[in-house]
Amino acid sequence: MFNRLITFALTVVTCVAASGVDWYSSTAGSCWQRIKAPKWSATATAPTVTVATDRAQVIDGLGGTFNELGWDALCSLDQAQRDEVMRQLFSPDESNYTYCRLPIGASDFAMNFYSLNDVPGDLDMVNFSIARDRHILIRYIKAAQRHQPALKFWASPWSPPAWMKTNEHYASSYDSDVPSHNGMPRQLEQELPCTGFKMQHGYLQAYALYFEKYVKAYAEQGVPISAICIQNEPCSTQKYASCTWRPEDMAYFVGNFLGPAFEAHGIDTDIYFGTINRDNPAFTRTALDDPKARKYFKGVGFQWDGKGAIPYISKEYPHLKMMHTEAECGNGCNDWAAAEHTWWQMSHYLRHGASMFTYWNMILDQTATSPWGWRQNSLITVDTERKTVAYHPEFYLMKHLCHSVQPGAHRLLTPPDNGQVLAFENPDGKVVVVLVNITDQPMPLALEHKGRYLNVELCPHSFNTITF
């Protein structure tokens, strides 16, 4: 028995050594460069970072968000340019995005307000239609699927149809800067913590049907929806499409209407409580502990201030999946500092159990501005006048994570006090380590795994992916 164990251990070491080491590095002046990788050593020549063999959560996928303004910008390019942008995002040889977010109706980066049924009082959803999406979002999605046929999707509404809301408007707050942006009178502002949805039987039943029809209609277009979150940022009033919900009311809708409807009609799309943008864990616990709703919740989605709640909820509800739903969007600077901030989000959410990480706008035009006047970051800028394409530091940061980490990978444990390293084991056994140096000085370190060391030096302000 002892001899067999020695033989097995030697076999593992031999196979890993034979597989070699790949190292890609990015700095502000030189992105995604292949570096000559060191050989394994029996000794460390620098401070050690240990990658354990202990496994944490499974990674379901990584990606970004499809929005109308992204496709509009892409359509200014010729077909060859457009296809190259999509290849860079979705090809397994490039960024390899595998799990992306879709809006149900208008997001804040849609061209304007809309839903999939804008006929007031149509509780039977006779006028439900994805006709607009077929011409915009689904074309965007199809362009991605050509490079990543197994691409998975999750979706959430920013607002129900306006006629289902108590203020009967897509927005939830008055736009004091430019009132004409959303046309909502101040008197119709929603109040927190009140629910903005009409909590009446007919509307609740109709909204469950709305979700059901959405999932079926998209599936017919070859776009299967793996999961839905009930509401984008239910804890905030916004001047763009939005709707506030109390957690009790979201749970009531799921437990009494949406969950039973999906169950009765054989819809296997997972229901997530989210996307939660508050750091108070009690908000999330209220819904997850609801006696009727909890059987239907498969996970929780967090974004923005939700980062303060995920460390608690992931430990308290280990049977549920955790999802990062939206990277914080900056102010359109698209610089290295923004990428380092996004790295902090990646590290925080994945180290606290998230099985997905979702960037926000993948593509915007040179204005980078929503119809509501908010200039934001994107991975890629398409200059619609010059017909040029720019890839920003966050694009390369995402590539450092997504290119090598496959769906089904396990996160491997790394030092809990070191937020500058993430490690994963892919289904094929390869180990992927993402290392970041956010300092102004070179960082020598020894990467230790199974008693062996890779002695490396990370450039100042660099992103690095090492695979072995």
Rounded distance, CA 433 to CA 150, Å? 24
**Can you tell me the distance from the alpha carbon of 103 to that of 6, in angstroms, rounded to the nearest whole number?**
53
Q: What is the pLDDT of residue 15?
A: 35
Q: How does pLDDT run across 117-127, given as a tens digit for each residue?
A: 999 999 999 99
In this prediction, what percent of the chain has a pLDDT beyond 70? 96
Q: Does domain 20-55+417-467 match CATH 1.10.1060.10? A: no
Q: What percent of the chain has pLDDT over 90?
A: 95
Give the burial class of 189: count Cβ atoms within 10 A of its Cβ; 0-12 exposed, 13-18 middle, 19 or more buried.
middle
- Cα angle vertex 309, ends 308, 313, to 5°? 150
Q: If pLDDT is split at 50, 70 and 90, which confidence band does 1 have?
A: very low
Cβ 371 vs Cβ 112: under 8 Å: yes
Q: Residue 180's pLDDT band (boundaries 50, 70, 90)?
A: confident
Helix (H, G, I), strand (E, B) or coil at 316: helix
Q: Nearest CA to 154 among 386, 321, 334, 371? A: 321
Mean pLDDT of 220-239: 98
The answer to whether the beta carbons of residues 214 and 104 sit under 8 Å apart is: yes
3-state secondary structure of 211: helix
Tens-place pLDDT, residues 121-168: 999 999 999 999 999 999 999 999 999 999 999 999 999 999 999 999
On whether the CB atoms of residues 73 and 81 are closer than 8 A, the answer is no
Render 325-346 in DSSP notation, one character per residue: EE---TTS---HHHHHHHHHHH
- The DSSP secondary-structure symbol of 29 reads T
Q: What is the domain partition of the chain in residue ranges?
A: 20-55+417-467, 60-404
- The C-alpha torsion from 378 through 380 and 385 to 387, rounded to 10°, is -170
CATH 3.20.20.80 fits 60-404, yes or no: yes
What is the H or E stretch that residue 253 is in?
A: helix 247-253
The predicted pLDDT at position 296 comes to 98
Task: Name the packing angle between helices 79-90 and 137-145 (round to 10°).
Answer: 70
Q: Which two tokens stand for residue 216?
A: 């079926």
Tokens of 278: 């508050």
Per residue in 298-352, pLDDT (tens digit) is 999 999 999 999 999 999 999 999 999 999 999 999 999 999 999 999 999 999 9
Phi, psi of 271 (to 5 degrees): -105, 125
Q: Is 54 exposed, middle or buried (0-12, 13-18, 19+ CB in 10 A)?
A: exposed
What pLDDT was estimated at residue 395? 98
Q: What is the mean pLDDT of residues 101-118?
A: 98
- List the beta bridge partners of residue 444: 457
